[in-house]
Structure 1
């Protein structure tokens, strides 16, 4: 949810200082891309918001896996799953270069950078425990902490590091896939041996225990699904308790784990691509057409093939693990295609009706992210309507549409009167340890100020 500040070498409406970015300094295309990515993230987040988390990858678990439900899963597997997160990480990386380069001459870049991200860590912790267990503020802010020393590295160096992290992530996913396959095979063998009346060794008992834990998440029984739904539909205290254990487990993930390599790879690539000028949106249109054609040309067929193969296997977990090798290539390619498409739309005046609204959502991304969590929590959990586990997969996208409409309508209206989103305002005030002006100056006041 970073804010897009211009680099020190870019034109500005005011001298570089240690204050928040002004409206004149914003990069329109980046705001629009960020807004698009933010809205797109909800396409996937809505599943664990509304039903048992195992349905995220496997619609046969709950929510429906035929007809329209299957079609929705397949389409989003091709164009959204992992792609929006990838796109958001790229923009987050670009923002690190933007923020630090603007503040470099003040001698306060490190101070502001680390305060900014330490506050974001606290926001993320509160968000995770109170609203959304799959939130990204906490891991993004943690990962960003090590990137400050790389801010002045060349674009080539940043792209090399990002590519190495990307390759490492793919190798780690492959290793995890092999480990999962081995766990399933040994667990199934131990279960079969126990059913045949054989006494299990200690090793087999441990293998069966691991297998049973895996089954509990990926192949839950009807009773387990009912228990899960009851917890999420309970009173607010019960909801927070149900979320707390999962959040705690997630936050205990090792800092150097492959889950963070996923974030670091895209942040480094985003920093490098911004330094190349690709993410500003002002390169020749031919570059963005090529990016769109290459990105979609690689990613759409590759992801379509994996979706077809997974469906043909009836979502067999072992079969799904075999596609770990192509996952990052598919999602990164489509993310680049999405980025290029939004930039091209921003350059076409005929699409202003859409891109200006996306830009407003992107400019208030942190507030909109929290708003979506509040709306979904109120609709699905015991905080409000308690609809968790009651809808089919395709039906929950009515809630996504509602959230999108609220963001696209309210964000532009809000920004006519206020400089920042409400959460952005609080974040900036805490970062600079000074209350920031929120309301925009009235035209009369501006005229008076400029005439004196």
Structure 2
């Protein structure tokens, strides 16, 4: 069981790494307000980098992280039951802590926080725990495919394309606000948060994250994680890699074929991202089995996933908002900065876990989850 938990930690570490490469851009650039065509990825080299990130990074890793959250529900419930606690009460305490941390992160550090969303959707997830695995899977598939396909059908029906627009003045205003003083930066962060979580965006956020929660819950409750044998995995891995690779990368490349088509971007993110996420997960598992290595650097990152997630934002906040790099960093630099942050986190995680069993935030979260005394 410990070995399998290390597998999950490594997958979680992979997700944290990928998420940083997506988040780093909005840490230091007003991505929410970028023009179309982009005023940021302007040169041909920068456009190539942008396409590379869009295909291999963007929307591929948040589904992994969301599925792991769904898996965690089963582990927490079983642990609570063994200790004699009401599992719904215990997981609710866990969610309230996540809500508080997420709110502080979202409103004080970075508007793009996902922990607050996870906490809210986590309460909706609770009733699904008692369902049979097959019913959880049906709900996951339905909530993922039906709304996204219906929206895609509407985009095809109305032949919707991305309009061209120029937000140069807005972009400069946002940069000035973040560069000026704390009050203006704090206010701008609240404005950005309100722009991201509009009423019209909430349904899309729900259908992109909640079905992944359910897929994770299904994998845990159907015992795929704890009972699948190495022989079964070996027989499936080639089929899964080929299928997810072909379908996923084909979908992710659609915006290259039709860059101004909204349906291309929608299919790429809604379906291509989660499928490529599965491709990466299986690839990491294959690498671990082939090399007989637990990829300790990824496992350590994953064991301290919340600490590292928050640390990424704190480093980004210091670099871009306090030191003042916001709006002045080139696209190439946005590749190098995450690499540096990951190296720092790998080193810190390694030395911290040599002395402690949990990351600092994870330890506090665990203390809050289970009543003391």
- When the two structures are superposed, what TM-score results if normalisation uses the length of structure 2? 0.89
Alpha carbons of structure 1 residues 325 and 334: separation in structure 2 relative to 1, 3 Å: closer
- Please tell me whether residue 294 in structure 1 is matched to residue 219 in structure 2: no
The answer on whether the counterparts of 2:55 and 2:249 sit within 8 Å (CA) in structure 1 is: yes
User: 2: distance between equivalents of 1:397 and 1:256?
Assistant: 30
Unaligned runs of 5+ in 1: 1-10, 12-23, 186-214, 311-315, 436-452
- The structure with the largest helix share of the pair is 2
Q: Deviations over 1:403-430 (max 9, x none)?
A: 1111112111110011211111121222
Matched residues, number: 369
User: 1: distance between equivalents of 2:339 and 2:88?
Assistant: 40
The answer on whether the counterparts of 2:248 and 2:271 sit within 8 Å (CA) in structure 1 is: yes
Alpha carbons of structure 1 residues 328 and 252: separation in structure 2 relative to 1, 3 Å: closer
Residue in 2 that maps onto 1:271: 217
| 2:180 partner SS | coil
Residue in 2 that maps onto 1:376: 316
The answer on whether the counterparts of 2:121 and 2:210 sit within 8 Å (CA) in structure 1 is: yes
Of 100, 111, 129, the match for 2:77: 100
User: 2: distance between equivalents of 1:91 and 1:364?
Assistant: 14
Residue in 2 that maps onto 1:220: 167
Q: Which structure's relative contact order is higher, taking Cα pairs within 8 Å and 6+ residues apart?
A: 2
User: 2: distance between equivalents of 1:180 and 1:128?
Assistant: 36
User: 2: distance between equivalents of 1:49 and 1:180?
Assistant: 34
Residue in 2 that maps onto 1:199: none
User: 2: distance between equivalents of 1:235 and 1:411?
Assistant: 33
Residue in 2 that maps onto 1:366: 306
How many Å apart are 1:154 and its aligned residue? 2.4
Residue in 1 that maps onto 2:258: 309
How many Å apart are 1:172 and its aligned residue? 5.7
User: 2: distance between equivalents of 1:111 and 1:254?
Assistant: 32
| 1:376 partner SS | helix
User: 1: distance between equivalents of 2:288 and 2:222?
Assistant: 19
How many Å apart are 1:65 and its aligned residue? 3.1
- Please tell me whether residue 239 in structure 1 is matched to residue 185 in structure 2: yes
Residue in 2 that maps onto 1:165: 143
Of 282, 285, 308, the match for 1:343: 285
Q: Deviations over 1:208-236 (max 9, x none)?
A: xxxxxxx8xx6302x32221111111222
Alpha carbons of structure 1 residues 181 and 47: separation in structure 2 relative to 1, 3 Å: farther
How many Å apart are 1:45 and its aligned residue? 0.9
Q: Please provide the CA RMSD for this pair.
A: 2.8
Q: Deviations over 1:385-417 (max 9, x none)?
A: 211111221221111111111111211111001
Alpha carbons of structure 1 residues 306 and 184: separation in structure 2 relative to 1, 3 Å: closer
Of 48, 52, 63, the match for 2:30: 52
| 1:425 partner SS | helix
How many Å apart are 1:146 and its aligned residue? 1.6
User: 1: distance between equivalents of 2:212 and 2:343?
Assistant: 29
Structure possessing the higher radius of gyration over alpha carbons: 1
Residue in 2 that maps onto 1:259: 205
The answer on whether the counterparts of 1:61 and 1:220 sit within 8 Å (CA) in structure 2 is: no
The answer on whether the counterparts of 2:55 and 2:252 sit within 8 Å (CA) in structure 1 is: yes
